[in-house]
Amino acid sequence: MDPLLLGGIVALATIFVLFSGVSVAIGLLIVSAGFLIVFDGARSLELLPEILFGKLDNFALLSIPMFIIMGSSIASTRAGADLYEALERWLTRVPGGLVVANLGACALFAAMSGSSPATCAAIGKMGIPEMRKRGYPDGVAAGSIAAGGTLGILIPPSVTMIVYGIATETSIGRLFLAGVVPGILLVVLFMAWSLYSTWKSGDAALLSSGSYTWKERFEILPRVLPFLAIIVGVLYAMYGGIATPSETAAVGALLCLLIAVIIYKLWHPRDLWVVLRDSTKESVMILFIVAAAGVFSYMLSSLYITQSIAEWIGTLDVNRWYLMIAVNVFLLIAGFFLPPVAVILMAAPILLPIITTAGFDPIWFAVVLTINMEIGLISPPVGLNLYVINGIAPDISLKTILTGSLPFVACMILAIFLLCVFPELATWLPDVVMGAAI
């Protein structure tokens, strides 16, 4: 059978199996084993255990559970509420400053936790009621938190970037740095839209109400600064050549646990057990998908599908930007239905040869891919962040939350366009800090 036709059949079979309701990892294993048996015979399955466990034999994977523990420690405390309150106290005099404080808190908490749902829940529980009380439109209040929560998979340290780095054998350090400037760009775009929509539809006098003394502003900082210091320290140790990403993640996880125990009194064994239990569940889920995706990649390569697609793309006489538009549409559609980690691990073996053949930088592409995944987090039918916000504020309809999120989707699409026009937004900082890629 023609490998390109076979690739289409594999794609359809994968979609069918995943839509059947089985977990992503099990679905990938079913598809991989089925096509290997049909085209290579039952003996081809003898290699699957070796591939499955060999994919996990990677020291860099250790950073995933460590960063997840780091995020869970923060998410299980009042760190999000304190972060929100600190920014609110400092920005309360600025008209529309509360929505800026919420987005800033989302960005910082997302950087600390790396989890979009956790960011939405932690900041939204306090931010949404307060914004509504001040007179902010429901769409702005809900949409800004939903969009701000997506920043967790872009701003470092990001588990999604780690997964991409492992799947494509790309420097995790470069990927982290590549997400910094685009992450700041998205925060600025989100804030600009929020301020504009607030100014257009809100009561400026009410929006700037509230007053705090300098004492009240400074007294909350000691509860927030230690976590921020850990993030800065982790990144400094990584880029200063002091330790590897896995080592810095382990130290960061330990320090976050200690701060949660010391500052937030998370000393009860039951509370610590919840942090470790939830971290283990999430880590196992991601690592199982990593292993299954390794088998899926082997199947694609064994049946010559990946190589044929790359060769076919190389023979196309088409502008590479049309190709990139097609790739972005594919990623958007995939992100509507699947979690970011699953999309990256499934698509990377196919997309990486395509983008490199077309002359695109894989580091730059990682940022574009991640922003597409962010859009999926606030878009139906899955739109995980939308349902988290609806759970926090059930009296705000899902339609209102979705409508309030759409302008932020437009901001993300604008960010992708700016990255296409100015790819240095993603590549400049890694080249400055780590030297130009060879």
Q: Do 278 and 72 contact (CB within 8 A), yes or no?
A: yes
- Tell me the domain boundaries of the chain: 3-434
170: DSSP letter: -
Taking only the tens place, the pLDDT of each residue in 106-133 is: 887 777 766 777 778 777 877 788 778 7
pLDDT range class, residue 70, cuts 50, 70, 90: confident
Mean pLDDT confidence for 247-268: 83
What pLDDT band is residue 265 in, cutting at 50, 70 and 90?
Answer: confident
Taking residues 405-416, report their average pLDDT: 92
Task: At 367, list the tokens.
Answer: 């940022």
Backbone phi and psi for residue 423, each to the nearest 5 degrees, phi listed first:
-60, -20
Handedness of CA 333, 337, 340, 341 (dihedral sign): negative
pLDDT given at position 364: 93
Q: Write down the residue that tokens 């979690």 correspond to.
A: 339
By the 10 Å C-beta count (0-12 exposed, 13-18 middle, 19+ buried), 313 is classed as: middle
Residue 94: band (very low, low, confident or very high) from pLDDT cuts 50, 70, 90: low
Q: Is 198 exposed, middle or buried (0-12, 13-18, 19+ CB in 10 A)?
A: buried
CB count within 10 Å of CB 269 equals 7
Out of 38-52, 85-99, 117-131, 225-239, least confident range: 85-99
Confidence band, pLDDT 50/70/90 cuts, at residue 197: confident
Q: Could you identify the residue written with the tokens 């991640």?
A: 370
Q: How far apart are CA 357 and CA 363, in angstroms?
A: 14
Residue 205 has what pLDDT? 52
**Cβ 66 vs Cβ 250: under 8 Å:** yes
Listed in sequence order, the residues at least 6 apart from 311 whose beta carbon sits closer than 8 Å to its beta carbon are none
**What's the confidence (pLDDT) of residue 319?**
82
Q: What percent of the chain clears pLDDT 90, i.e. is strictly above it?
A: 8
Token pair of 250 as six digits:
């382990």
Q: Mean pLDDT throughout 65-78?
A: 80
Q: What is the pLDDT of residue 208?
A: 55
Check whether 169 has a pLDDT greater than 70.
yes
Separate counts of helices (H) and strands (E) for the chain: 23, 0
Query: Rounded distance, CA 297 to CA 168, Å?
Result: 11
Kindly report each contact of residues 427-430 with a partner whose C-beta sits within 8 Å and lies 24 or more positions away, as own/partner. Answer: 427/178, 427/361, 427/363, 427/364, 428/181, 429/177, 429/178, 429/180, 429/181, 430/171, 430/173, 430/174, 430/177, 430/178, 430/363
